Structure 1
Amino acid sequence: MINKKILILFLFSSTLFSCSSIELFKEKVEQKPYKENKTYVIVNKEVAIHGFEDVLVNEKIINQIEKNMNGLGLTYDKDKPDVVIRFSSNEDPRQKDVYQNQFPMWGMRVWDPWMYDPRFMNRGNMMSTKDYELIQLIIDFIDPAQDKMLMTITAVSEASSQKTKEKKLIKSVDKIMGAYDIHMRTY
C-alpha cells in the first residue's frame, strides 16, 4: 500500500515538474574547458549594455547571474576574469488562438439532457486570441585568455504578463547556470 502511494506521488510530481515551460539550447562550443575558472565578469554590467529594454529586468538578470556564479564558487573580478559573461535577448510579441469548450465537464454534457446553458446559446466555435511574448535569453560564456567562446546557451519561454516574464527569466538564468556548471564539470 505504501509503495502504491509513493508511486502515485512520484508520478504526480514528475508530471508536475516535467512540464517545464523553459527550453534550453546549447548552441556553440568552440573549446572544451581546459582549466578551473575562479573569477568572472559580466560585460553588460561593466559597459552598461542592456540585454533587455526594461532596466529593472536587466538588473534582475545581472543579480541572478552573480548569485549563481557566486554559488558555484567564482568571484567577481573585472580586471582579470577567467570567464567573461555577456547576455542578450529576443522579445517577440505574438498571439495564439484559444478555443473554448462548448461542452464542459463530460464530453457531450451527459448530465444535462436538454444541453441548455445560456452561455453557449447560438454560438458555434468559441475562439479568442491571447497575447503573449516569446522570450529568448542568450548567455555567452567567453574565455578571454584564448578569445574563444566556451559556450552559448539560449533559454526560450513564453510569458503573458510582466510578472510572469520576470519569473521565467529568473528561472531561465538558473537553468542556464546549471547547464554551464554541468558543462564545466563533465568535460
Structure 2
Amino acid sequence: MQKATLIFLSLVTMFLSSCSSIELFKERTEVKPYKEYTSFVIVNKEIGVKSFSDELLDAKVSNEIEIKMKELGLIYDRESPELVIRYSSNEEPRQREIYNNQYPMWGMRVWDPWMFDPRFMGRQNMTSTKNYELLQLIVDYIDPKQDKMLMTITAVSEASGTKSKNKNLIKSARKVVGAYKDHVKAN
C-alpha cells in the first residue's frame, strides 16, 4: 500500500512540474563564475527602482529573489556584495483569437439525423478574442569586482488575470534563481 502511494505521489509531482508555462532563456554571459559567491545585493531594492507597474508585485518579486538567494546560502550585504542583482520587466498586453467548434462531439454531424442544434443557428463565424499579458522577468547577475555581466536570465510567461500574473511572476523568480544555481554549480 505504501509503495503504491509513493508511486502515485511521484507521478502527480512529475505531472505538475511538467505543466509549467514558464520558459527560461539564459543570455549574455560575459564572464564565467570564478568562485562561489557568498554575498549579494538587489539594486532595485536599494535605490528604489520599480520594474513593474504594480508596486506590490514589484515588492513580491524582489522579496522572492532575496529569499531564494538566501536559501542558496548567500548573505544580503549592502556594503560590499560579491554579486549584484538587477531585475526589470516587460509587461505587454496581447490578444489571441479563439476558434469555437460549431459541430461539437459529432465532427461534421454526418450521422446526426436531425442536423439541428439551436445553439449554432445562423452563426457562420465562431471566433472570439481572449486578452492576455505576455510577462518577461529579466534578471541580471553582475560581478562588481570585474564590472562584468555574470549572466542574464529571462523568464517568459503568459497571464490572463491578476491572480495568474502574481503566481507566474513568483514562479519565474524561483526558476531564475534555480537557473543561477545550476549555472554556478556547472562552472
Q: Same fold (TM over 0.5)?
A: yes
**CA–CA distance in structure 2, aligned partners of residues 148 and 122 of structure 1:** 63
- Percent identical across equivalent pairs? 61
**CA–CA distance in structure 1, aligned partners of residues 86 and 36 of structure 2:** 19
**CA–CA distance in structure 2, aligned partners of residues 97 and 82 of structure 1:** 47
Name the SS of the counterpart of 2:102 in structure 1. coil
1:47 paired residue number: 47
Q: Does 1:184 align with 2:184?
A: yes
1:112 Cα shift? 4.4
2:158 paired residue number: 158
**CA–CA distance in structure 1, aligned partners of residues 37 and 77 of structure 2:** 12
1:34 Cα shift? 0.5
- For structure 2, which runs of at least 5 residues remain unmatched after alignment? none
**CA–CA distance in structure 1, aligned partners of residues 130 and 124 of structure 2:** 19
1:14 Cα shift? 4.8
**TM-score (norm. length: structure 1):** 0.89
1:69 Cα shift? 0.4
**Per-residue deviation, residues 77-100 of structure 1 (Å, max 9, x unmatched):** 000111100000111111110111
Give the number of aligned pairs: 182
1:76 paired residue number: 76
- Structure 1 pair 138–124 and aligned structure 2 pair: CA distance change class (3 A): same
Q: Does 1:130 align with 2:115?
A: no
1:167 paired residue number: 167
- After TM superposition, the runs of 4+ consecutive aligned structure 1 residues lying more than 4 A away are 12-16, 109-112
**CA–CA distance in structure 2, aligned partners of residues 13 and 114 of structure 1:** 46
Q: Does 1:63 align with 2:47?
A: no
- Structure 1 pair 64–105 and aligned structure 2 pair: CA distance change class (3 A): same
**Per-residue deviation, residues 1-20 of structure 1 (Å, max 9, x unmatched):** x99xx69x85x865654242
Name the SS of the counterpart of 1:40 in structure 2. strand
**CA–CA distance in structure 1, aligned partners of residues 74 and 90 of structure 2:** 28
Q: Does 1:148 align with 2:144?
A: no
1:21 Cα shift? 1.2
**TM-score (norm. length: structure 2):** 0.89
- For structure 1, which runs of at least 5 residues remain unmatched after alignment? none
